[in-house]
């Protein structure tokens, strides 16, 4: 059985003080969670959150990582830098990074390999646009993005990372795939991993749903056999809402 993982993507929200207050409220609420709990916070909040969650079951995550170890990359952070401030997980290839900041399948792969080499656990995002789904290309797109993102990794490395299926048309829109649609597409992703690395690896890798999972739909989504957790946006910014997602089995 794969252990579920619920990760909050705070995006560009919260000052260090606000971040500390949020995780301080969250800590007692999720202390008995059966899933891994991650908060992916803005860079300015790393220190405040790391100190607040020390000794708890909440893990610190980042929202991006650069593929170089160092150099003339203004505004970027390396895996070594993130590791040094207590980051354990890092989101890579989120649809907003692809849409607004020129992320490509090639740069996603470079970042994934750098994160793994630097001792971080990538949360690798893949997903289709609305027009692509309507045209019937969903399976081909998520398989291609998955295979590209994982190129150059070993089977053992792939087993440890997390993949997040995020239908782009459901990000920040309030829309969500049906439970069956999400499960089916995540099954396609798992089959893509199996073709590249074997069934044992595919059975080990955890695949989240990242399309507006919230307290109202989490139970139905998490009842699906292929779905191993969620990458949570808006619902992660309020401790009670995030807790309801984390404790989906209660």
Q: What is the pLDDT of residue 171?
A: 73
Q: What is the pLDDT of residue 185?
A: 97
**Facing residues of 58 across strands?**
37
Q: What is the pLDDT of residue 179?
A: 95
Q: What is the pLDDT of residue 177?
A: 82
**Facing residues of 36 across strands?**
5
Q: What is the pLDDT of residue 166?
A: 93
Q: Please indicate whether residue 94 is annotated as part of the active site.
A: yes
Question: What value does the mean pLDDT of the chain take?
Answer: 96
pTM of the full structure: 0.96
Q: Please indicate whether residue 184 is annotated as part of the active site.
A: no
Distance between CA atoms of residues 181 and 197, nearest Å: 24
E strand intervals along the chain: 5-9, 36-40, 58-62, 89-92, 121-126, 162-165, 206-209, 229-232
Exactly one of 96, 103, 166, 226 is catalytic; name it. 166
Please list the ranges in the chain whose pLDDT falls under 50.
none
Exactly one of 59, 94, 128, 226 is catalytic; name it. 94
Place of tokens 């946006």: 233
Q: What is the pLDDT of residue 212?
A: 85
Angle at 160 between CA 147 and CA 242, to 5 degrees: 100
Q: Which two tokens stand for residue 153?
A: 């990794």
Q: What fold, for 5-246?
A: TIM Barrel (3.20.20)
* pLDDT tens by residue, 12-33: 999 999 999 999 999 999 999 9
Domains of the chain, by residue range, sit at 5-246
Helices then strands, each counted (H, E), the chain: 12, 8
């Amino acid at each position: 059985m794969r252990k579920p993982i619920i990760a909050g993507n705070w995006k560009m929200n919260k000052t260090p003080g606000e971040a500390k207050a949020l995780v301080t409220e969250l800590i007692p609420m999720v202390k008995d969670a059966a899933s891994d709990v991650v908060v992916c916070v803005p860079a300015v909040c790393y220190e405040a959150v790391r100190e607040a969650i020390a000794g708890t079951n909440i893990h610190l995550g980042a929202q991006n990582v650069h593929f170089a170890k160092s150099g003339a990359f203004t505004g970027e952070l390396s895996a070594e830098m993130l590791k040094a401030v207590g980051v354990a997980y890092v989101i890579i290839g989120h649809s907003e990074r692809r849409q607004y900041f020129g992320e490509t399948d090639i740069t996603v792969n470079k970042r994934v390999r750098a994160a793994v080499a630097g001792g971080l656990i990538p949360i690798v995002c893949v997903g289709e646009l609305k027009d692509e789904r309507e045209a019937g290309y969903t399976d081909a797109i998520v398989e291609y993005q998955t295979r590209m993102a994982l190129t150059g990794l070993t089977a053992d490395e792939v087993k440890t990372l997390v993949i997040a299926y995020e239908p782009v048309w459901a990000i920040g829109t309030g829309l969500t795939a049906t439970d069956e649609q999400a499960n089916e597409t995540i099954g396609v992703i798992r089959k893509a991993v199996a073709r590249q690395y074997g069934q044992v690896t595919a059975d080990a890798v955890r695949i989240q749903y990242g399309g507006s999972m919230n307290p109202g739909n989490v139970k139905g989504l998490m009842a699906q056999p292929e779905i191993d957790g969620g990458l949570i946006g808006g619902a992660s910014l309020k401790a009670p809402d995030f807790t309801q997602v984390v404790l989906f089995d209660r």
